[in-house]
A and B are shown apart, each in its own frame.
Chain A
């Protein structure tokens, strides 16, 4: 520094600050990558372990046989059919109710104390532990309404469990629809009903579908509430078929049938002292993981596909 007048320029100080900020930023990004890598490694190790243990059991027989006391002959037929029908009931319960509630809260409810109370409660319900839903279902559906440990009870329970997820997703999707579309519809003389059905819901559909799938993916892995309501672990028959060759062709007897589900058999096999059942548990877990991943991937794909069509 030959010229003392230039030693204290503000730009020099700024340069030092900028260097420091850059280093800080680089450090942060590095740390983030490291943590991400760690997470991925843990997940991959877990997954590889399960895959290694369960891979050999993933034969056609495994999907086509019922439970058995002999590990090598036990299959998941009742479990995956049970999961499928319970999910169907869950969807029938949660989708219409959840979407309708979301539409009501966004498009119809007048802002006020009651609406705020309902909104806060729905958000909180999404955070209630699933075992609490199980206890509620045990008291209400199984005991009070006498529905028993049936497919109907399981579907209602899981439907209630994911209802808040569907409501919140519906509301968020509806809020994304620009107000200008609503005003355009009202301005040509549409009623609120017409505006909601013909403009708001179609525009919000990608978000709503995503929310529904994420909710169902959550429900498919739930174990605690099903154990609480009394899902059986050992079952050697399928629920009655919903269709019959003679009139009235449709039957709803299956709703009252006992059931098991993938997370239940996984849990059961894991907790047995006989180590021969471990590969079975791992294989069932793989099937469940696969279903969940497929559902979540579908949600991501749908969101991406349908969002691209919209230009606002």
Chain B
């Protein structure tokens, strides 16, 4: 699946945004991920599916070094980020720099207790953008990309908490998009939302892929089928099967994948 085809002499694979190489992750002595090799295709959505506790969220949070915030973690193996081919997990790689290139949207909408505008502008301010005109232009673009602009353009000064749950989640997506991430991580972004808001987020996910690579953890198999070109099935910390979504759903090569998709466990 991640064979040698298309590989350039310097190891750069133009069709990939990132890939994990023999990635293992430990909480204390307990292995939460074992030898995971996952390619993340550029300008595509890749879905991580599997039963609760299979390690899909743990894997996602390796990509932006979120585990570094908590004690007792250990990475082993590599995550390569292209095109510059750096190892995100190398000790000399600054996790702050990693997070400024790889965005994340969480399970529960978590806007800052600030105005709609300030929420989106926050990442821009962190990067030293001070000019009002540039801030306004970039905030508007991010809100448009997150399909939220028309709903909030007259209430940019309102508290983000005044928005509905679905709007808050799109605001969080806008906040992540504003800083032009190369890869955007979604950790079950619709599990706290009602069906209507879920549909609008899914629609947004499909349109986002034009400018950003998406890696999404989801509990919802239909969601994976609707938004992702590639799907990875994980079980007990291992990557059981990876492939184009249609192939994986219709003709899984592994017995465990087939059982899971058929609802026989999980």
Contact = CB atoms under 8 A, between A and B. Distances in A.
Contacts of A180: 106, 108, 110
Given A183-B106, A194-B126, A189 B111 contact: no
Given A190-B126, A194-B126, A184 B110 contact: yes
A203 to B, nearest CB: 7
B179 A188 contact: yes
A14 B64 CA distance: 57
A185 B64 contact: no
B103 interface: yes
B75 interface: no
A276 interface: no
A310 B69 contact: no
B100 interface: yes
Contacts of A311: 113, 161
Contact of B179 (A110, A183, A189, A202): A189
Interface string B104-128: 1010101111000000001100110
A184 B106 contact: yes
Given A180-B108, A181-B112, A187 B99 contact: yes
B126 A184 contact: no
A188 B126 contact: yes
Interface string A187-211: 1111100100011001100000000
B88 to A, nearest CB: 14
Contacts of A178: 110
A181 B109 CA distance: 10
A183 B112 contact: no
Nearest to A182: B69
A186 interface: yes
Contacts of B113: 181, 202-203, 309-311
Contact of A189 (B66, B99, B108): B99
Contacts of A181: 110, 112-113
Contact of A187 (B66, B127, B161): B66
A193 to B, nearest CB: 10
A111 interface: yes
A276 to B, nearest CB: 58
B176 interface: yes
B123 A188 contact: yes
Contacts of B179: 188-189
A188 B123 CA distance: 6
Nearest to B185: A187
A189 B172 contact: no
B108 A184 contact: no
Contacts of A182: 69
A110 B176 CA distance: 29
B3 interface: no
B123 A191 contact: no
Contact of B99 (A186, A198, A199): A186
A188 B99 contact: yes
A185 B118 CA distance: 12
Contacts of B126: 188-190, 194
A255 B103 CA distance: 53
Given A110-B71, A182-B69, A310-B113, A187 B96 contact: no
Interface in A274-306: none
A111 B96 contact: no
A183 B161 contact: no
Nearest to A188: B123
Contacts of B71: 110-111
B175 interface: yes
Contacts of B69: 182-183, 186
A310 B111 CA distance: 12
Contacts of A194: 126
Contacts of B97: 189
B117 to A, nearest CB: 15
Interface string B163-180: 000000000100110010
Contacts of A310: 113
B96 A191 contact: yes
Contact of B66 (A186, A188, A202, A309): A186
A189 B125 CA distance: 11
Interface in A158-182: 178, 180-182
Given A191-B96, A311-B161, A183 B110 contact: yes
20 contacts: A111-B71, A178-B110, A180-B108, A183-B66, A183-B104, A183-B110, A184-B175, A186-B69, A186-B99, A187-B64, A187-B106, A188-B99, A188-B100, A188-B103, A188-B123, A188-B175, A189-B97, A190-B126, A199-B112, A311-B113
Given A188-B175, A189-B99, A199-B112, 18 more contacts: A110-B71, A180-B106, A181-B110, A181-B113, A182-B69, A183-B104, A183-B106, A184-B172, A184-B175, A185-B122, A186-B99, A187-B99, A187-B106, A189-B100, A189-B127, A190-B122, A203-B113, A309-B113
Interface of A: 110-111, 178, 180-191, 194, 198-199, 202-203, 309-311
The 3 closest A-B pairs by CB, nearest first: A189-B100, A188-B123, A180-B110
